[in-house]
Amino acid sequence: MAFRSENRIPKRRPGQKLADSLTAAALNAPAEELAQIEQHIGRNLGAEVLDWPIVDHFLGKVYNSSAQPLYPASPRYEIKRSQPTWTLKAKDLLTVEDDLREERQNRIVIATNLAEAATTHLVQVDTVVHVFGVVVQKFTPVVHYYFFHGSSGITPVQLTGSGSNGSKTTAANYTYTVKTIDGNTTIATGVSPFYTRQFGKLTGAATRGHIWYEGSTIKLYPYEFPSTGACV
């Protein structure tokens, strides 16, 4: 397997960790990202990391080739290679455009976000991420792509509720379809709030809220509000 020489890095010393063998200056990336990549390879792939494990790294934009992502219940994303937009406007220095120098077949890769739980898909379309191509060897050398974006903590979400509003003698019983904040990706359906509702009428179902995970269990805090009118 041949790789572009400018992407190669020096061999590691025996026993030297991947994150220790690279510097943020060499890859323009935090050591935390490199450590996450190494842990993922060793834990999930059971693979031997080659002496030149990182063969590619680039800016990319989260991309959907259709109305729904290819992996909606997974932290795997289509990533389109990008480059900074260079114009005379200072604000445009923070934006990117498609990297047309890449051959078409290499322009989009599938990459895993190491900051997410195993069944989530929380990063919005057009988000710019820093992607690493890592060589692993199980039977034959293969390049796997990773990035580290966001947090595995609290995440804002868009909600669609189904149920009733409650009254002075009953509690509301809305359950929610949970989507990414841009509404493009469904994260979960039929989710109830993590708390127990009290009796009383609400103004209606929540349209926004936030989630987090306890292990693999999703926890939802919907922004529900009590009605200021009389309970009926």
Q: Please write the tens of the pLDDT for every residue from 13-50.
A: 444 444 444 333 334 445 555 566 666 555 555 555 44
Q: What pLDDT score was predicted for residue 31?
A: 53
Q: pTM above 0.75?
A: no
Q: Do the domain assignments include residue 228?
A: no
Q: Are residues 161 and 136 in the same domain?
A: no
What mean pLDDT comes out for the span 62-67?
74
Q: Do the domain assignments include residue 78?
A: yes
Residue whose entry in the numeric block shows the structure tokens 């929540």: 206
Residue whose entry in the numeric block shows the structure tokens 């379309």: 125
Q: What pLDDT score was predicted for residue 32?
A: 57
Q: What pLDDT score was predicted for residue 18?
A: 44
Q: Are residues 143 and 175 in the same domain?
A: no
114, 125, 106: which is closest to 61 by C-alpha? 125
Q: Are residues 116 and 167 in the same domain?
A: no
Q: Do the domain assignments include residue 230?
A: no
Q: Do the domain assignments include residue 229?
A: no
Q: What pLDDT score was predicted for residue 8?
A: 38
DSSP code for 171? B
Q: Distance (Å, rounded) from C-alpha 201 to C-alpha 226?
A: 6
The token pair that represents 60 in the structure block: 């990319």
Q: Are residues 118 and 162 in the same domain?
A: no
Q: Are residues 130 and 194 in the same domain?
A: no
Instruction: Show the domain range for 179.
Output: 155-222
Q: Distance (Å, rounded) from C-alpha 8 to C-alpha 174?
A: 54
Q: Are residues 104 and 40 in the same domain?
A: yes
Residue 118 and residue 216 in contact, taking contact as beta carbons nearer than 8 Å? yes
